[in-house]
């Protein structure tokens, strides 16, 4: 087995220092930010952007180590989050001014995230809405039944096609709720895989129905667990739901949510899951 472990890291939201600290602690990069995770798969759960001041540095690091991992062994997967789609919808409510200015002007930032430019290509082509590794499904918000029925490859292709065909400066808020633009469709919004909280924010009397649907989706995708981000666990702890079939890893890593430190580690041989919170002394 080439890869011995999977490291899943929750929503970063522009916090470069926290990202570096976690990746070093997990022994995925060294003090020079070079990839050393030769036997590891990194899955970053999306929402690299917004709410913080270092979006550009975060994206540069992820793009860099993704390419390093290809050359040096290991693998880096980056999940598409709802804040990445926000950027491609021209929505700036969660964008800090200092973060925007790292790109120069607003127009410079728009260009950077437009089609056929570095960050725009990364978001549209390299970030995946849903991935499966072994028997574990990873997605940012959650995969509900009606989209699982499309098949994972087809679902990812549909979302990528929408992102590739949508101009950067399109604003769903200018178009209104009744817009027929594909980027405002359900697939890209409330119950799509980047936005859904079907399995993480249900009311007590909705638990059985939600968990039953989760079980159906896992059966349909030939998986046994779903790992998600998106829904912040305000106490900074990784949580499980639905008899451990769902693992929620958004622990509020960014300073905007308390600078909680932690990540999920999975031993592929024994299928063992650990929540790691302690920083090593040589970090």
Q: Domains, the chain, ranges and CATH?
A: 5-276 (3.60.21.10)
pLDDT at 81: 97
> Each residue's pLDDT tens digit in the chain (283 positions)?
689 999 999 999 999 999 999 999 999 999 999 999 999 999 999 999 999 899 999 999 999 999 999 999 999 999 999 999 988 877 788 888 998 889 998 888 888 988 889 999 999 999 999 999 999 999 999 999 999 999 999 999 999 998 888 765 555 545 545 555 555 566 777 899 999 999 999 888 999 999 999 999 999 999 999 999 999 999 999 999 999 999 999 999 999 899 999 999 999 989 899 999 987 745 4
Nearest to 11 by CA among 268, 283, 200, 204: 200
Cβ atoms within 10 A of the Cβ of 63, count?
17
Give me 89's structure tokens. 């919808």
pLDDT at 188: 77
Secondary structure of the chain in HEC code, one letter for each residue: CCCCEEEEECCCCCCHHHHHHHHHHCCCECCCCCECCCCEEEEECCCCCCCCCCHHHHHHHHHHHHHHHHHHCCEEEEECCHHHHHHHCCCCCCCCHHHHHCCCCHHHHHHHCCCCCHHHHHHHHHCECEEEECCEEEECCCCCHHHHCCCHHHHHHHHHHHHHHCCCCCCHHHHCCCCCCHHHCHHHCCCCCCCCCCCCCCCHHHHHHHHHHHHHHHHHCCCCEEEECCCCCCCCCCEEECCCCEEECCCCCCHHHCCCCCEEEEECCCCEEEEECCCCCCC
pLDDT at 172: 53
Nearest to 272 by CA among 165, 134, 160, 159: 134
In this prediction the pTM is 0.93
* Strands lying side by side in the sheet with 225-228: 130-133, 136-139, 225-228, 246-248, 239-241
- Tell me the pairing of strands 225-228 and 246-248: parallel
């Amino acid at each position: 087995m080439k890869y011995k472990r999977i490291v899943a890291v929750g929503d970063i939201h522009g916090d470069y220092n926290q990202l570096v600290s976690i990746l070093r602690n997990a022994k995925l990069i060294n003090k020079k930010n070079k990839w050393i995770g030769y036997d590891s798969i990194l899955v970053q759960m999306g929402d690299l952007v917004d709410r913080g001041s270092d979006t550009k540095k975060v994206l540069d690091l992820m793009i860099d180590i993704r390419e390093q991992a290809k050359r040096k062994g290991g693998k880096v997967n980056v999940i598409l989050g709802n804040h990445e789609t926000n950027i491609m919808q021209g929505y700036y409510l969660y964008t800090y001014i200092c973060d925007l200015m790292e790109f120069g002007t607003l127009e410079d930032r728009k260009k950077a995230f437009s089609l056929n430019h570095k960050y725009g290509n990364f978001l549209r082509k390299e970030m995946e809405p849903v991935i499966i590794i072994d028997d574990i499904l990873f997605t940012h918000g959650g995969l509900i039944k009606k989209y699982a029925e499309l098949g994972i490859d087809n679902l990812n292709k549909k979302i990528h096609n929408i992102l590739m065909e949508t101009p950067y400066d399109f604003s769903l808020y200018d178009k209104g709720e009744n817009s027929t633009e594909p980027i405002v469709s359900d697939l890209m919004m409330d119950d799509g895989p980047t936005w859904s909280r079907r399995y993480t924010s249900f009311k007590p009397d909705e638990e059985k129905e939600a968990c039953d649907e989760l079980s159906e989706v896992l059966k349909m995708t030939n998986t046994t667990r779903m790992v998600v981000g998106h829904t912040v666990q305000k106490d900074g702890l990784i949580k499980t739901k639905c008899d451990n079939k769902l693992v929620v890893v958004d622990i509020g890593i960014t300073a905007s949510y308390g600078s909680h430190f932690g990540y999920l580690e999975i031993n592929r041989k024994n299928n063992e899951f650990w929540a790691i919170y302690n920083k090593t002394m040589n970090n």
